[in-house]
């Protein structure tokens, strides 16, 4: 497995591969890899001939400086996991390599980045859009793989691809969960062993909400979720029901609208998100 740290060197490598007709798959990550990432790598290995994983903790997508400072960085174990998976190349640039000049560009995804995560993390999706556009320009993937735990991010990337006509096919990977249901996330690495066990209440509360939605008012379902979390020491930031395709936030459950429940909650200072199709 080759490791590239400079844009120029990976670009040269990719141009050689593409000239030889090789189909390139990209799995963009911020490192601290887990089975969720590896499942995306496996998809790429299956569907393309060259799998590149980027590892870059993108400073411009963090609206909370503490979250950025404390974001887990586990490069050595990431490399070991990727080697074992059969991944072909890793792109691990420094922040100076990616952003030699202060970034002034802003991306606006309209209503899509004002709701849910966008409402609580202003500027987040602009930062995600910019880094993903840069990665697409550098790696020129034929297919890009993103996990569905970041459900809204997946929609944002699809819009980025459509609006800027990137010749990239977007492929999603389903949420990979721990045996107790907690969605795998790099941020789980910041939880103490005790908090890690308790955090599975997020999944339990989603299951409960999904079960109750057809009979109860959405507001009552939200109150129940909040209580379940509070009892375990978590703080609910939001629980929303949204149209699965447009992500328009819904005020009521409607069995005719394929929808998704989306949640964000704090376990101490660690912010966790999850979602469940309804």
Complex with ligand PAF: residue 59 or 233, whichever CB lies closer? 59
Active site residue 34: no
Give every strand in the sheet of 234-243, ordered side by side. Answer: 249-250, 234-243, 259-267, 270-277
CA distance readout (Å), 273 to 3, 17, 25, 184, 188: 31, 37, 26, 10, 11
Helix axes 75-85, 35-47, angle to 10 degrees: 40
Instruction: Tell me if 90 contacts ligand PAF by CB under 6 A.
Output: no
- CA geometry: angle at 241 spanning 36 and 43, to 5°? 20
DSSP state of 269: T
Which member of 37, 46, 88, 124 is catalytic? 37
Complex with ligand PAF: residue 150 or 240, whichever CB lies closer? 150
In whole angstroms, how close is the CB of 233 to ligand PAF at the nearest point? Answer: 26
CA distance readout (Å), 58 to 4, 38, 94, 215, 231: 17, 20, 10, 42, 34
Q: Per-residue contact track with ligand PAF, 40 to 59, x per CB under 6 A?
A: ------------------x-
What six digits make up the tokens of 109? Answer: 């995804």
How far apart (Å, rounded) are the C-alpha atoms in residues 217 and 221?
A: 6
Among 10, 14, 24, 30, binds ligand PAF (CB under 6 A): 30
Instruction: Tell me if 28 contacts ligand PAF by CB under 6 A.
Output: yes
Among 29, 39, 51, 85, binds ligand PAF (CB under 6 A): 29
In whole angstroms, how close is the CB of 186 to ligand PAF at the nearest point? Answer: 7
Closest C-alpha among 119, 120, 118, 105 to residue 156? 118
Among 44, 48, 51, 61, binds ligand PAF (CB under 6 A): 61
Q: Which stretch binds ligand PAF (CB under 6 A): 28-36, 108-116, 160-168, 216-224?
A: 28-36
Instruction: Tell me if 143 contacts ligand PAF by CB under 6 A.
Output: no
In whole angstroms, how close is the CB of 153 to ligand PAF at the nearest point? Answer: 6
In whole angstroms, how close is the CB of 173 to ligand PAF at the nearest point? Answer: 11
Where does this chain bind ligand PAF (CB under 6 A)?
28-30, 58, 61, 128, 131-132, 150, 153
Which residues are known catalytic residues?
37
């Amino acid at each position: 497995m080759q490791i590239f740290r400079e844009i120029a060197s990976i670009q040269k490598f990719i141009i050689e591969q593409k000239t030889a007709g090789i189909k390139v798959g990209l799995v963009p990550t911020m490192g601290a890899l887990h089975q969720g990432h590896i499942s995306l790598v496996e998809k790429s290995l299956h569907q393309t001939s060259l799998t590149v994983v980027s590892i870059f903790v993108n400073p411009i997508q963090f609206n909370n400086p503490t979250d950025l400072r404390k974001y887990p960085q586990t490069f050595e174990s990431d490399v070991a996991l990727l080697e074992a998976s059969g991944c072909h190349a890793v792109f691990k640039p420094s922040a100076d390599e990616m952003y030699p000049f202060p970034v002034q560009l802003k991306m606006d995804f309209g209503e899509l980045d004002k709701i849910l995560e966008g409402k609580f993390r202003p500027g987040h999706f602009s930062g995600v859009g910019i880094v993903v556009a840069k990665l697409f320009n550098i790696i020129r993937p034929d297919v890009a793989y993103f996990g569905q735990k970041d459900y809204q991010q997946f929609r944002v990337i699809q819009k980025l691809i459509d609006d800027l006509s990137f010749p990239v096919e977007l492929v999603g990977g389903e949420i990979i969960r721990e045996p107790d249901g907690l969605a795998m996330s790099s941020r789980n690495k910041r939880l103490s062993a005790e908090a890690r066990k308790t955090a599975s209440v997020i999944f339990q509360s989603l299951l409960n909400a999904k079960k109750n939605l057809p009979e109860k008012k959405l507001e009552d379902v939200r109150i129940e979720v909040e209580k379940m979390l509070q009892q375990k020491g978590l703080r609910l930031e939001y629980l929303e029901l949204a149209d699965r395709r447009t992500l328009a936030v819904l005020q009521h459950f409607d069995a005719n609208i394929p929808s998704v429940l989306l949640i964000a909650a704090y376990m101490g200072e660690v912010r966790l998100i999850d979602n469940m199709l309804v």
